[in-house]
Chain A
Amino acid sequence: MYKYFPHTDEDLKAMLEKVGVETLDELYPQIPESIRFKGDYQIDLTEGEMGVRRVFNKLGAENKQLTCFAGYGVYDHYTPSVIPNLLQRSEFLTSYTPYQAEISQGTLHYIFEYQSMMAELTGMDISNASMYDGTTACAEAMMMAVAAGKKVNKVLVSETLNPKTRQVLDTYALHHGIELVTIPAKDGVTDLSALNSPLSSLEGVAGVMVQQPNVFGIVEDYTGFADACHAQKALFIMDCVAADLAVLKTPGEWGADIAVGDGQSLGIPMQFGGPYVGYMCCTEKLIRKMPGRIVGMTKDNREQRAFVLTLQAREQHIRRQKATSNICSNQSLMALFVTIYMSLMGKKGVKEAAQLSYAGAHYLCDELLKTGRFHLVYDKPFFNEFYVKYDGDADQLYQKFIDAGFLGGVRMEEGFLFAVTENRTKEEIDNLVKIAAL
């Protein structure tokens, strides 16, 4: 037997006897012989623990470790050592969704803290208990806008949204019967004047979705958007990089009805695409339209403060096909991750990290421009990510970066999209620039 199975021969005998059969094979009398699996799976024999380590180390060695200057929605921020350590507390790690409040106060308590912190960060009234990631949070916001509207199924999406997010939106929209219309961009930013053009008229629109900073790293000015939306009863939805909100004007201040995005920037490792955590916040009046879990405060029968999953009448296990979403789990452990991150970094630390990222990115940009071979594609204010054109062979330079151990941004049509976080040192930036200047 393997170490995960405690059954001794003696146990097996006694248990089979209780069940009234003689062998394990006889436990499945209902399965027709014709479909029973009788062969061997074509997979390897057990590796045991040492073998597992060998396989992973071998595969790991085939990955190249690069100093990361890429972003595009996923950022190499610093992870305080406390977090992975606390996340391994198996009382958190190996528990299920907190249905039994009496023995799940740990989870319920931190989700309440998470919701509180996200509401502060976004400047919104309330938050749900988290979503899968930023792109699916956007898709849920799109469907939420349509559900909240009255017989409207059109959603406008800015051209400056990350194309990957847009692709996820397109997928959901196709099946859910939502019409997506693009608001064109002008000089790298969403064109407000286009909102009133016939193509993207606000009439009959359920929601308008924009991104901050946008796909090019530009901090857009969304003055007038919320008013234009609200005048036509459309919801204004902002998709924001969570960490940047420590400094940037919040969705609440812009007048957004729904704030969504990815929380990965709050210290979660990039880990090749996931798990991350999506967030969704909204105004109080939309609370009953919100998808996903929500934790609320209450009292127990001993008059103690307690926390509990609430407003479950919105959810799939009660409402089935009439639920606000099919979402079942949230991204609980990753919500714990960012909650601990925000607890450690606190009011000052999140700001300082954002300022360092901003400074590092602007320093890199200045140094690249100084080489005379790079130009900003759009002359607009950016945060910690920027889009530059290169006057040489960009593919070749990108490869040179890799050979030198750098992930030199993300290759875009016209050049490179570079991102810098507090995790990058001046020395690393200078070395990158040296290669770029050659």
Chain B
Amino acid sequence: MNNKLYGNLIFELSKEGRIGYSLPGNNFGNYEIPTSMCRAEDAALPECDELTVVRHYTNLSNNNFGVDTGFYPLGSCTMKYNPKINEEMAALPQFQNLHPEQPAETVKGAEKLISILEHHLCELTGLAHFTFKPYAGAHGELTGLMVIDNYHRSRGDLQRKKVIVPDSAHGTNPASAAVCGLEIIEVKSQADGTVDLEDLKRLVEQEKDNIAAMMMTNPNTLGLFEKSIPEIATLIHDCGGLMYYDGANLNPMLGVCRPGDMGFDVMHINLHKTFSTPHGGGGPGSGPVGVREGLQEFFPFVSPYNGNFAVMMRAFAYILSLGKEYVKKVGPLATLNANYIKESLKDVYELPIDTMCCHEFVFDGLKDKSTGVTTMDVAKRLLDYGYHAPTIYFPLLFHESLMIEPTENESKETLDAFIAVMRKIAEEAKTNPDEVKSAPHNTPIGRVDDVLAAKHPVTTYRQLKAEL
């Protein structure tokens, strides 16, 4: 990685007169676009030859870290291996060239793929129907809440606008509720990290007919299974609300327990987490929404066609690859890997809730707080050792949250090496805290000035040039 050589923007490599494309000549005759329709000046895009472009983006990729580069224990994100066969299948021209407005008789294969995938997801979750329209997890949450809102509206239950969410929930939960025009009420967590049933009973009693739904992820964001889930579902159902399952943490449940059997009515799945489709640097994802029988008539129109179809193809390839015998291994092996790391580090990192976790768990920073080394410092120091950092400062229940999710694909050797580095950092925090606090040292760039970026936003090349 050499940021000095490859730090240019593509605009800075541009030279007038160079081209990176080949288009046919115009043999349609003289059709001039009327100038009254046209922009006054050409868009100031770069002018580069093909190799310059290829080299620029190849070198940029070298300044990135992916699952294929190394261990990526980013909690809550399920950075599992993205199999290559999935990519090969998604690129098949028989599917890539399909226009979404093609008549049904010409897209039978694609339609069949969608219906088999739907069947797979129903089997794996215990729900009855899925819509593939949502483009991402947050979009799925919104879609699921719309299903719930539509259901209550259809019954004339117009006052049901409150959604109960645990205080440990993902930030998208309350944000999705707000977009859907619903109001959030938070239920407290107990000391062991699970929902406080007494507090929930109080809320249900207090709000009764106003409750639209309860939104939960199970295991929760601490990686802990909510053992009272049957009681919680009964409480909510008895007051007329529906149960929403945030599928962000579905991975450890494969082969173990299905949301439908837990008592959930509506859920979304992040295909880019549990079903191995690549995260792509932040999308495209896919967030299909599943419902219990009878709720499918409330699926909303949140996108025009079949959602991110090529992402669904990858998930389909993954399920076919594993088949029923190996898909069952996913959850237990992910859970084993997480517990193995937890048990191997809990003597040096603070483990606030010392119990069996599922696919992930949360440390509250280093055990020895006297060194002043924070979770941020540990995360940055991990980059020096060639690891991606865990999720930090989430969930908000602890001050120094460090959330680790290894996934089922990592070998014991990889985990052992990570554990050794985590222990080394804990040691460094005592012997050489400044080295840790000033990390990273071995990355293409050092710690960035977030405040400068936000105080004086420069977000385009045009602005950047004006600054010079």
CA distance A333 to B64 in the complex (A): 13
Known A-B contacts A6-B409, A135-B303; the reply to A102 vs B443 at CB < 8 A is yes
User: 8 Å CB contacts to A: which residues of B409-465?
Assistant: 409-412, 438, 440, 443-450, 452-454, 457-464
A98 to chain B, nearest CB (A): 7
> Contact between A37 and B329 (Cβ–Cβ < 8 Å)?
no
Q: Mark A332-362, 1 if CB is under 8 A from B, else 0.
A: 1110100110111111111111011011101
Q: Mark A70-87, 1 if CB is under 8 A from B, else 0.
A: 101110101010101010
A387 to chain B, nearest CB (A): 14
> Contact between A61 and B178 (Cβ–Cβ < 8 Å)?
no
B275 to chain A, nearest CB (A): 12
CA distance A123 to B41 in the complex (A): 10
Q: Which of B198-206, B235-243, B306-314, B362-370 contacts A (4 or more CB under 8 A)?
A: B306-314
CA distance A44 to B181 in the complex (A): 41
Q: Which of A196-204, A229-237, A296-304, A371-379 contacts B (4 or more CB under 8 A)?
A: A296-304
A274 at the interface (CB under 8 A from B): yes
Number of A-B contacts (CB under 8 A): 656
Option from B31, B33, B45, B278 in Cβ contact (under 8 Å) with A93: B278
| Residues of chain B contacted by A121 (CB below 8 angstroms) | 43, 45
B92 at the interface (CB under 8 A from A): yes
Option from A164, A336, A425 in Cβ contact (under 8 Å) with B304: A164
B372 at the interface (CB under 8 A from A): no
A117 at the interface (CB under 8 A from B): yes
Instruction: Please give me the residue from chain A that is nearest to B225 by CB atom.
Output: A30
User: 8 Å CB contacts to A: which residues of B139-193?
Assistant: 139, 141-142, 145-146, 149, 171-172, 174-181, 184
A396 at the interface (CB under 8 A from B): no
A160 at the interface (CB under 8 A from B): no
Known A-B contacts A4-B409, A271-B309; the reply to A126 vs B225 at CB < 8 A is no
A370 at the interface (CB under 8 A from B): no
| Residues of chain B contacted by A319 (CB below 8 angstroms) | 171, 175
A431 at the interface (CB under 8 A from B): no
User: 8 Å CB contacts to A: which residues of B1-45?
Assistant: 3, 7, 9-11, 14, 18-21, 23-24, 26-29, 31, 33-34, 37-40, 42-45
> Contact between B460 and A347 (Cβ–Cβ < 8 Å)?
no
B: contact size bracket? 35 or more
Instruction: Please give me the residue from chain B that is nearest to A287 by CB atom.
Output: B457
| Residues of chain B contacted by A345 (CB below 8 angstroms) | 20-21, 45
Option from B65, B74, B96, B257 in Cβ contact (under 8 Å) with A35: B257
> Contact between A300 and B446 (Cβ–Cβ < 8 Å)?
yes
> Contact between B44 and A293 (Cβ–Cβ < 8 Å)?
no
User: 8 Å CB contacts to B: which residues of A33-48?
Assistant: 34-37, 40-48
Known A-B contacts A96-B74, A176-B181, A316-B138; the reply to A45 vs B317 at CB < 8 A is no
| Residues of chain A contacted by B149 (CB below 8 angstroms) | 175
| Residues of chain A contacted by B42 (CB below 8 angstroms) | 246, 347-348, 351
Q: Mark B125-144, 1 if CB is under 8 A from A, else 0.
A: 01000000001111101100
| Residues of chain B contacted by A249 (CB below 8 angstroms) | 37-40
> Contact between A274 and B306 (Cβ–Cβ < 8 Å)?
yes
Known A-B contacts A94-B66, A95-B64, A330-B283; the reply to A250 vs B301 at CB < 8 A is no
A395 to chain B, nearest CB (A): 10
| Residues of chain B contacted by A313 (CB below 8 angstroms) | 454
> Contact between B340 and A323 (Cβ–Cβ < 8 Å)?
no
> Contact between B336 and A343 (Cβ–Cβ < 8 Å)?
no
> Contact between A273 and B38 (Cβ–Cβ < 8 Å)?
no
> Contact between A132 and B303 (Cβ–Cβ < 8 Å)?
yes
A428 to chain B, nearest CB (A): 12
| Residues of chain A contacted by B102 (CB below 8 angstroms) | 64, 66, 70, 407
CA distance A329 to B273 in the complex (A): 13
Option from A27, A93, A103 in Cβ contact (under 8 Å) with B65: A103
CA distance A351 to B110 in the complex (A): 34
CA distance A301 to B450 in the complex (A): 11
Name which of A94, A294, A299, A345 has the most chain B CB atoms within 10 A of its CB.
Answer: A94
> Contact between A334 and B283 (Cβ–Cβ < 8 Å)?
yes
User: 8 Å CB contacts to B: which residues of A1-56?
Assistant: 1-2, 4-7, 11-12, 14-16, 18-20, 24-25, 27-32, 34-37, 40-49, 51-53, 55-56
Other A-B pairs, 19, CB within 8 Å; known A5-B329, A95-B280: A5-B333, A18-B340, A28-B356, A35-B257, A56-B313, A92-B61, A102-B383, A102-B448, A103-B64, A106-B62, A112-B9, A171-B301, A271-B96, A275-B308, A326-B141, A346-B18, A347-B47, A349-B21, A422-B23
Top-8 shortest CB links A-B: A273-B305, A60-B94, A46-B323, A333-B280, A106-B64, A62-B109, A94-B66, A275-B284
Pairs across A and B, CB under 8 Å, 6 listed: A19-B343, A31-B225, A53-B89, A59-B109, A271-B96, A274-B311
